[in-house]
Chains A and B, each alone.
Chain A
Amino acid sequence: MSITQHIPPQAKVDSLEESWIKSAQQDLSAFEKLYDANYEAIFRYAYQRMDSKDDAADVTAQVFLKAMTNIKKYKFMGLKFSSWLYRIAKSETYQFLKNKSKSPTINVETESLANMAQDIDVPIALGNEELIAALSELNDQELELVEMRYFEQRNFKEIGEILDMTENNSKVKTHRVIKKLQNKQK
């Protein structure tokens, strides 16, 4: 038999974001606050994966359109609203590129690449070309993990939420990608 400490439940207090969501679920015109609060982040997510600013704006508009039409289905059950939007953004981005027959883009900052090179124990002096070549050989999910972790500086919890996996799983999978990149460098 095991004994567990009883912790009395705390009164649930809505955060501002939750109250915005509830308002938007009742009246779509109240969605504007959520739109304003999340627009830039979703735009940057899309733009990170494509070449054109206009394309990123189109995808972002599509993401929010989807979010508005589905807002009533959203339930605050541990999944952050922003993570829900990122999930829509991930799907919309790839759908957009597919529809337009465009290739996805990897946008790399030298500084982020240097951080990654350090993590995978590759001498920075070796040059970025090999690393970039290795990156372009990763599959979609592997690349998504690298982009989120190193180019967008997200933590594993958020990565897990966006990619619909546990925090631990996102950590393990990212490390696997790192190992893969390490092996390619040998």
Chain B
Amino acid sequence: MKRNINIDRKPLAKEEINATKDFRSLASKVGIAGSVSPKPTGKSTGWFAGGIAAIAIAAGIYVGTKTDSEQLVQEPETLIAEVTDTVSKTIFVNPPIPEADISNESYYVDADNGGKIKHHTGTEITIPEGAFMDEEGNIITGKVEVQYREFHNQTEILLSGIPMDYDSAGKEQVFESAGMMEIRGYQDGKRLKIVPDKNFRICMHSKNPDPKFNLYYLDEEKEEWSYEGKDSIDNPKTEQGSIKDEPIEENIAKVIDKEEAQTEIADAEEVVAVIKKEIKTLKKESPRKPLKANPKKKNFTIDVKKTEFPELVVYAGTIFEVVDKSDLPEDTYSVTWNGVELLEKNNSYIVQLKKGERKEEIKVIPVLDGKDYDEAKKEFDSSFTDYSKKLTAKKEEEKQAEVNLSKIKERYKKEQEAYERRVAIMRSKMEFQAAARDELKRIFNINRFGTWNCDSPIPYPKGMLVLTNYEDEETGETIEFTKLDLVEKTRNACFPLDASRIGRLPFNPKRDNLLWGITLDGMIAVADTEDFKEIEKGQEAHTFKMKVVDIKGKTTSEIREIIGG
């Protein structure tokens, strides 16, 4: 078959394709022309009639009620109310909840002399003399108002309604931002322009020192971002190389496991305690050295009748040497005692003799004599050698266990000290980095009023694709949105989900994801990271249980807290 071949044909942009859409015409062919909603226009996501209506009404409220905070730089008399009505918003820039839009701050500058504006974030705007002109190109003199606002995080991006999608050669991408700002000039309620070659110098506060970001300008007429080159980064501390030299996360990962340390120390202590106990037991059972009878001392043996005193048979033949001869009654040897008992008191032996009412107690030492002693001594010597060996071995074991214990303690002490040193260094570096971030500036010149963005286009997340449903976690009702964005916590970007993605959500399961939706009644609906973690690999469909919150009247930082951005 004959085929035409095109190589690298210019890809069609999403807008070109959308321009060919015509559901009304299609519907009329199947006989439902009267029941369909009007064809959406421009870049507005047109997948809900209700959603579009809500956007249009919202834009109207915005123009009529916006109250910006006011900051007087040079002359304080001009009222902000004089100019707020002149702020025009196209449907292209579309704050989803007008009451929560990021406020402008107003500064007043003498157009003849120019001046320097210092925004509360640290941003500095240098305006040259004679830099303002009206729509017709006439140079403006006198006092002019400069309205200025910045957007630094995903919450501010969401609330601003500034479209962050970037269609590059047919590839849909969104902007990851290192800082975005909007600047406008007014005099007597009329919009001004910047005189050619009288560029404003912007030193914009930024939190991201990465050099990958480019500068883009939002062309509201063409409804697209235009590439404007590259900004420069001013951060003296970064230039010294102090921040990037130390991978802080790696150091943080080296934290010692305290529980493991405690367990290891406790184990070693127990080993020492067990050995000590064994030594104590061993000592208690130490062989007792036999004592040889002293011929100069009095002594006696007990002649025991086995039948009468079976318990004393063991002492038959034992010589009891009298400790104190005064204890020994003179008639001891002549009396036939009818009761004998051997008692042990305080490591001494006492022989208790009884006859009727009479009771005699004699403190004695069991001794041996002659052959008995020699044998006992021999046996003692042998068992004492064994005992000594055992005791020495146990004491050595105890010493080793104690050395081991102290080594473990020392090791953990050193690790703890090293960890504390690292923590201190890290803390100091983090403080340094935070301070450096505060001082970080992205510098560029602007030649026209509007929205400028230090950005880097990134593709939509990939990894998983699920068919989706969205429910209010309290009521269980299906939520309909005027806007739904996927947010990855670690990337300063919002991924708007258009009609093709809202029902089939692509996301990267390795990242911490959030969903932020604006409901038809102007509430924020949030699906948190835990909801995403419930989605298992290979799962085809998932119902997001979203928390629906009314954020009207709340500050941007309160909203940020609520939606977890």
Residues of A at under 8 Å CB distance from B?
13-20, 27-29, 31-33, 35-41, 43-44, 47, 51, 53, 56-57, 60-61, 64-65, 68-69, 82, 103-110, 128, 132, 135-136, 140, 143
B interface residues, tally (CB under 8 Å): 45
Query: Are B478 and A19 touching (Cβ within 8 A)?
Result: yes
Smallest CB–CB gap between B40 and chain A, Å?
Answer: 8
What residues of B have a CB within 8 angstroms of the CB of A13 in the complex?
Answer: 469, 541, 543
- Contact partners of A109 in chain B: CB under 8 A: 7-8
B1-33: contact bitstring with A at CB < 8 Å (1 yes, 0 no)?
Answer: 111111111001010111011110111011010
- Inter-chain contacts of B21 with A (CB < 8 A): 35-36, 39
Please judge, given known A-B contacts A32-B36, A33-B47, whether A16 and B469 are in contact too, CB under 8 Å: yes
Determine if A35 and B23 form an interchain contact, defined as CB atoms under 8 angstroms apart.
yes
List of A residues within 8 angstroms of B8 by Cβ: 108-110
**Contact between A33 and B499, CB atoms less than 8 A apart:** yes
Asked if A106 and B37 make an inter-chain contact with CB atoms under 8 angstroms apart, the answer reads no
Chain B residues with CB under 8 A of A103: 1-4
Contact of B35 with A110 in the complex, beta carbons under 8 Å: no
CA A57 to CA B4, docked complex, whole Å: 19
Q: Do A107 and B469 touch across chains, with their CB atoms under 8 A apart? A: no
How far, in whole Å, are A104 and B1 apart by their CA atoms in the complex?
9
Q: Between A and B, how many residue pairs show CB distances below 8 Å?
A: 127
Are A28 and B27 neighbours in the complex by a CB distance under 8 Å? yes
Could you list some 17 contacts between A and B, CB below 8 A? A15-B541, A16-B478, A16-B502, A19-B469, A28-B30, A29-B36, A32-B27, A32-B37, A37-B47, A37-B499, A38-B500, A40-B500, A53-B12, A64-B26, A104-B1, A106-B3, A109-B7
Quick check: A37 and B4 within 8 Å, CB to CB? no
Cβ of B107 under 8 Å from chain A: no
Rounded to whole Å, the gap between the CB of B309 and the closest CB of chain A is 76
**Which residues of chain B are within 8 angstroms of A40 by Cβ–Cβ distance?**
14, 17-18, 500
A169 to chain B, nearest CB (A): 20
B504 — nearest CB in chain A belongs to which residue? A17
Bound-state Cα–Cα, A37 to B45, Å: 10
Complex alpha-carbon distance, A128 and B6, angstroms: 12
Q: Which residues of B contact A110 (CB under 8 A)?
A: 7-8
Residues in B with CB closer than 8 Å to A136 are 3, 5
- Given contacts A16-B503, A44-B12, A104 and B30 within 8 Å (CB-CB): no
Chain B residues whose C-beta falls within 8 Å of the C-beta of A135 in the assembled complex: 5
Least Cβ–Cβ distance between A63 and chain B, in angstroms: 10
18 additional A-B pairs beyond A29-B35, A39-B499, A140-B1, beta carbons within 8 Å, are: A16-B467, A16-B503, A19-B469, A20-B503, A29-B27, A32-B47, A33-B47, A36-B47, A40-B14, A43-B17, A103-B3, A105-B6, A108-B7, A109-B7, A109-B8, A110-B7, A128-B7, A143-B3
Cβ < 8 Å to A, chain B residues 28-58: 29-30, 32, 35-37, 46-49
In chain B between 541 and 561, which residues have their CB closer than 8 angstroms to a CB of chain A? Answer: 541-543
Give Cα A91 to B470, complex, Å. 34
Give Cα A40 to B170, complex, Å. 12
Chain A residue numbers with a CB within 8 Å of B46 are 36
Q: Is the CB–CB distance between B16 and A15 below 8 Å?
A: no
Closest chain B CB from A184 CB (angstroms) = 16
User: Top 5 closest A-B pairs, CB basis?
Assistant: A15-B467, A36-B499, A17-B503, A29-B35, A57-B20
**Residues in B neighbouring A51, C-beta threshold 8 A:** 4, 6
Contacts of B478 in A (CB 8 A): 16, 19
Interface of A: prevailing SS: helix
Question: What separation, in Å, do the CA atoms of A143 and B4 have in the docked complex?
Answer: 13
> Is residue B214 within 8 Å, beta carbon to beta carbon, of the partner chain?
no
Q: In angstroms, how far is the closest chain A Cβ from the Cβ of B27?
A: 7
A14 touches B469 (CB 8 A): yes
The verdict on B416 contacting chain A, using a C-beta distance below 8 Å, is no
Please, which residues of chain B bring their CB within 8 A of the CB of A27?
A: 35
How many Å lie between the Cα of A51 and that of B10 in the bound state?
Answer: 11
B residues at A contact (CB < 8 Å): 1-9, 12, 14, 16-18, 20-23, 25-27, 29-30, 32, 35-37, 46-49, 466-470, 478, 499-500, 502-504, 541-543
- Given A44-B12, A68-B26, verify A106-B4 contact (CB < 8 Å): yes
Contact A37 B500 (CB under 8 A): yes
Complex: A81 Cα to B473 Cα, angstroms: 27
Residues from chain B with a CB closer than 8 A to the CB of A19 are: 469, 478
Q: How far is the CB of B222 from the nearest CB of chain A, in Å?
A: 20
Asked if B4 contacts A105 (CB within 8 A), the reply is yes
**Nearest Cβ on chain B to A58's Cβ, whole angstroms:** 9
The contact of B6 among A17, A65, A69, A108, by CB within 8 Å, is A108
B7, B23, B542: the one within 8 Å of A132 (CB): B7
Q: By the criterion CB–CB under 8 Å, are B32 and A29 in contact?
A: yes
Q: How far is the CA of A15 from the CA of B542 in the complex (A)?
A: 7
Closest CB-CB distance, B180 to chain A, in whole Å?
Answer: 27
Separation of A51 and B146 alpha carbons in the complex (Å): 50
**Among A29, A68, A110: residue with most chain B CB under 10 A:** A29
Q: How far is the CB of B158 from chain A (nearest CB, A)?
A: 21
B478's closest neighbor in chain A, by CB?
A19
Name the B residues within 8 Å of A29 (CB-CB): 27, 32, 35-36
**Considering the chains assembled together, what is the distance between the CA atoms of A104 and B499 in angstroms?**
29
Cα–Cα distance between A15 and B23 once the two chains are bound (Å): 23
Q: Which of A44, A68, A140 contacts B17 (CB 8 A)?
A: A44
Q: Are B26 and A35 in contact (CB under 8 A)?
A: yes
B35 to chain A: closest residue by CB: A29
Contact B6 A107 (CB under 8 A): yes
Q: How long is the Cα–Cα vector from A28 to B17 in the complex, in angstroms?
A: 23
With both chains docked as a complex, state the minimum distance between the C-beta of A117 and any C-beta of chain B, in angstroms.
14
Residue of A nearest to B39 (CB): A32
Tell me which residues across on chain B come within 8 A of A61, comparing CB atoms: 22, 25-26
Docked Cα-Cα span, A36 to B499, in Å, equals 6
**Which of these, A56, A64, A82, A108, contacts B5 with CB under 8 Å?**
A108
Q: Nearest A residue to B14 by beta-carbon distance?
A: A40
**In the assembled complex, how far is the CB of residue A85 from the closest CB belonging to chain B, in whole angstroms?**
12
Which residues in A have their C-beta under 8 angstroms from that of B16? 53
Residues of A within 8 A of B502 (CB): 16, 37
Q: For the complex, give the distance between the alpha carbons of A64 and B25 in Å.
A: 11
Check A105 against B26 for contact (C-beta < 8 Å).
Answer: no
Q: Which chain B residue has the least Cβ–Cβ distance from A135?
A: B5
Contact of A17 among B1, B37, B467 (CB under 8 A): B467
Q: A40-B18, A44-B17, A128-B7 are in contact. Are A16 and B499 (CB under 8 A)?
A: no
Best-surrounded residue of B16, B30, B470, B543 (most CB of chain A within 10 A): B30
| Contact present for A107 and B9 (CB under 8 Å) | yes
With both chains docked as a complex, state the minimum distance between the C-beta of B417 and any C-beta of chain A, in angstroms: 53
Tell me the nearest residue of chain A to B479, going by C-beta: A16
Evaluate contact between B29 and A65: CB separation under 8 angstroms: yes
